[in-house]
Amino acid sequence: MKFTTIFARLASTNQQKTQLMFKKDRYNDRILHELTKNGRLPNSELADIIGLSPSACLRRVQELESSGLIKGYRAILDSELIGNSFIAYVGIGLNEHSTDSQLAFEQAIKLADEVKECHNVTGSFEYLLRIETKDIKSFKLFHANILGVISQVSTITTHVVMDSPKDDRN
Protein backbone atom coordinates (compact mmCIF):
# COMPACT_ATOMS: atom_id res chain seq x y z
CA MET A 1 0.00 0.00 0.00
CA LYS A 2 1.34 3.44 -0.89
CA PHE A 3 2.12 6.00 1.79
CA THR A 4 -0.26 8.52 0.19
CA THR A 5 -3.11 6.02 0.53
CA ILE A 6 -2.26 5.35 4.18
CA PHE A 7 -2.06 9.07 4.98
CA ALA A 8 -5.33 9.75 3.13
CA ARG A 9 -7.06 7.06 5.21
CA LEU A 10 -5.59 8.40 8.45
CA ALA A 11 -6.61 11.95 7.58
CA SER A 12 -10.12 10.79 6.72
CA THR A 13 -10.40 8.84 9.98
CA ASN A 14 -9.11 11.78 12.06
CA GLN A 15 -11.52 14.15 10.32
CA GLN A 16 -14.44 11.81 11.07
CA LYS A 17 -13.40 11.57 14.75
CA THR A 18 -13.18 15.37 15.00
CA GLN A 19 -16.61 15.75 13.40
CA LEU A 20 -18.08 13.27 15.89
CA MET A 21 -16.51 15.02 18.88
CA PHE A 22 -17.23 18.61 17.80
CA LYS A 23 -20.14 19.85 15.76
CA LYS A 24 -19.18 23.13 14.10
CA ASP A 25 -22.23 25.35 13.82
CA ARG A 26 -23.20 28.93 14.62
CA TYR A 27 -24.20 28.14 18.21
CA ASN A 28 -20.90 26.47 19.07
CA ASP A 29 -19.01 29.24 17.29
CA ARG A 30 -20.85 31.86 19.40
CA ILE A 31 -20.29 29.86 22.60
CA LEU A 32 -16.55 29.68 21.89
CA HIS A 33 -16.41 33.37 21.00
CA GLU A 34 -18.19 34.45 24.18
CA LEU A 35 -16.23 32.11 26.48
CA THR A 36 -12.96 33.28 24.93
CA LYS A 37 -13.89 36.83 25.92
CA ASN A 38 -15.15 35.86 29.39
CA GLY A 39 -14.61 32.32 30.67
CA ARG A 40 -16.57 33.12 33.85
CA LEU A 41 -19.76 34.05 32.02
CA PRO A 42 -22.68 32.35 33.81
CA ASN A 43 -24.49 29.75 31.72
CA SER A 44 -27.80 31.65 31.95
CA GLU A 45 -26.21 34.80 30.47
CA LEU A 46 -24.38 32.80 27.80
CA ALA A 47 -27.66 31.10 26.83
CA ASP A 48 -29.39 34.51 26.50
CA ILE A 49 -26.58 35.90 24.35
CA ILE A 50 -26.53 33.00 21.88
CA GLY A 51 -30.27 32.33 21.85
CA LEU A 52 -30.52 28.86 23.40
CA SER A 53 -32.22 27.54 26.49
CA PRO A 54 -29.89 27.27 29.52
CA SER A 55 -30.02 23.45 29.43
CA ALA A 56 -29.18 23.27 25.69
CA CYS A 57 -26.39 25.79 26.16
CA LEU A 58 -24.92 23.88 29.12
CA ARG A 59 -25.05 20.61 27.16
CA ARG A 60 -23.13 22.22 24.29
CA VAL A 61 -20.50 23.71 26.63
CA GLN A 62 -20.04 20.32 28.29
CA GLU A 63 -19.65 18.66 24.87
CA LEU A 64 -17.04 21.24 23.87
CA GLU A 65 -15.19 20.58 27.13
CA SER A 66 -15.33 16.79 26.86
CA SER A 67 -14.20 16.89 23.21
CA GLY A 68 -11.06 18.71 24.33
CA LEU A 69 -11.80 21.82 22.30
CA ILE A 70 -12.17 23.82 25.53
CA LYS A 71 -9.03 22.86 27.42
CA GLY A 72 -9.80 24.79 30.59
CA TYR A 73 -10.34 28.15 32.22
CA ARG A 74 -7.77 30.34 33.94
CA ALA A 75 -7.15 33.67 35.58
CA ILE A 76 -5.11 36.21 33.62
CA LEU A 77 -2.79 38.06 35.97
CA ASP A 78 -1.52 41.61 35.58
CA SER A 79 2.26 41.19 35.27
CA GLU A 80 3.02 44.67 36.56
CA LEU A 81 0.82 44.33 39.64
CA ILE A 82 2.54 41.08 40.63
CA GLY A 83 5.94 42.71 40.18
CA ASN A 84 6.98 41.60 36.69
CA SER A 85 7.11 44.82 34.69
CA PHE A 86 10.01 43.76 32.42
CA ILE A 87 8.94 41.59 29.47
CA ALA A 88 11.21 40.29 26.72
CA TYR A 89 10.98 37.82 23.88
CA VAL A 90 14.17 35.80 23.59
CA GLY A 91 15.26 33.79 20.58
CA ILE A 92 17.36 30.76 21.49
CA GLY A 93 19.67 29.01 19.04
CA LEU A 94 20.90 25.54 19.93
CA ASN A 95 24.42 24.31 19.25
CA GLU A 96 23.07 20.99 17.99
CA HIS A 97 19.89 20.17 16.04
CA SER A 98 19.18 16.78 17.56
CA THR A 99 16.11 15.54 19.39
CA ASP A 100 18.22 14.89 22.50
CA SER A 101 19.49 18.47 22.48
CA GLN A 102 15.97 19.85 22.10
CA LEU A 103 14.58 17.66 24.89
CA ALA A 104 17.43 18.61 27.23
CA PHE A 105 16.85 22.32 26.56
CA GLU A 106 13.07 21.97 27.05
CA GLN A 107 13.56 20.14 30.37
CA ALA A 108 15.96 22.83 31.61
CA ILE A 109 13.71 25.71 30.60
CA LYS A 110 10.61 24.20 32.27
CA LEU A 111 12.29 24.80 35.65
CA ALA A 112 12.62 28.58 35.08
CA ASP A 113 9.71 30.54 36.59
CA GLU A 114 10.63 33.60 34.51
CA VAL A 115 9.76 31.73 31.30
CA LYS A 116 6.04 32.20 30.71
CA GLU A 117 6.00 30.73 27.19
CA CYS A 118 8.37 28.51 25.21
CA HIS A 119 7.75 27.85 21.52
CA ASN A 120 9.75 25.66 19.13
CA VAL A 121 9.85 27.76 15.94
CA THR A 122 11.30 27.85 12.45
CA GLY A 123 13.74 30.49 11.27
CA SER A 124 17.07 31.75 12.51
CA PHE A 125 16.69 30.18 15.98
CA GLU A 126 14.98 27.11 17.43
CA TYR A 127 13.01 28.54 20.36
CA LEU A 128 11.15 31.73 21.18
CA LEU A 129 10.66 32.46 24.89
CA ARG A 130 8.46 35.01 26.62
CA ILE A 131 10.30 36.13 29.75
CA GLU A 132 8.83 38.19 32.60
CA THR A 133 11.01 39.59 35.38
CA LYS A 134 10.88 42.43 37.89
CA ASP A 135 13.32 44.68 36.01
CA ILE A 136 16.36 44.75 33.73
CA LYS A 137 18.66 43.75 36.60
CA SER A 138 16.57 40.63 37.25
CA PHE A 139 16.58 39.85 33.55
CA LYS A 140 20.38 40.16 33.44
CA LEU A 141 20.64 37.63 36.29
CA PHE A 142 18.23 35.28 34.49
CA HIS A 143 20.19 35.72 31.26
CA ALA A 144 23.51 34.85 32.92
CA ASN A 145 22.48 32.32 35.58
CA ILE A 146 19.75 30.39 33.75
CA LEU A 147 20.12 30.76 29.98
CA GLY A 148 23.89 31.19 30.15
CA VAL A 149 24.46 27.84 31.86
CA ILE A 150 22.26 25.63 29.66
CA SER A 151 24.85 23.72 27.64
CA GLN A 152 22.65 23.34 24.54
CA VAL A 153 22.32 27.13 24.05
CA SER A 154 24.57 28.66 21.42
CA THR A 155 22.88 32.02 20.74
CA ILE A 156 20.58 34.31 22.69
CA THR A 157 18.76 37.16 20.94
CA THR A 158 16.65 39.45 23.13
CA HIS A 159 13.78 41.74 22.11
CA VAL A 160 12.51 43.94 24.95
CA VAL A 161 8.80 44.76 24.93
CA MET A 162 8.27 48.52 25.10
CA ASP A 163 4.46 48.46 24.74
CA SER A 164 1.70 46.02 23.77
CA PRO A 165 -1.03 47.86 21.84
CA LYS A 166 -2.74 44.50 21.20
CA ASP A 167 -2.58 41.42 23.40
CA ASP A 168 -5.47 38.96 23.05
CA ARG A 169 -4.21 36.92 26.01
CA ASN A 170 -5.66 39.58 28.34
CATH number for the domain spanning 27: value is 1.10.10.10
pLDDT tens per residue across span 10-63: 445 555 554 446 678 999 999 999 999 999 999 999 999 999 999 999 999 999
The angle subtended at Cα 76 by Cα 71 and Cα 81, nearest 5°, is 160
Residue 92, in any domain of the structure: yes
Together in a domain, 62 and 93: no
CATH number for the domain spanning 95: value is 3.30.70.920
Q: Which of 137, 42, 33 lies closest to 83 in space, CA to CA?
A: 137
Together in a domain, 95 and 62: no
Alpha helix stretches (DSSP H) within 51-169: 54-66, 99-110, 136-145
**Mean predicted confidence (pLDDT) in 146-165:** 96
pLDDT tens per residue across span 110-146: 999 999 999 999 999 999 999 999 999 999 999 999 9
Together in a domain, 95 and 57: no
Residue 31, in any domain of the structure: yes
Together in a domain, 57 and 110: no
Residue 36, in any domain of the structure: yes
Together in a domain, 59 and 19: yes
Together in a domain, 23 and 51: yes
Residue 139, in any domain of the structure: yes
Together in a domain, 56 and 92: no
Q: How far apart are CA 20 and CA 92, in angstroms?
A: 40
- The values of phi and psi at residue 32, to 5°, are -65, -40
Alpha helix stretches (DSSP H) within 22-110: 26-37, 43-50, 54-66, 99-110
**Domains: count for the chain:** 2
- How does residue 4 score in pLDDT terms, banded at 50, 70 and 90? very low
Q: What is the pLDDT of residue 77?
A: 86
pTM: 0.75
**Mean predicted confidence (pLDDT) in 156-167:** 94
Contacts of 112 (CB under 8 A, 6+ apart): 142, 146
Domain that holds residue 11: 3-66
Together in a domain, 60 and 25: yes
- The values of phi and psi at residue 87, to 5°, are -125, 135
Residue 145, in any domain of the structure: yes
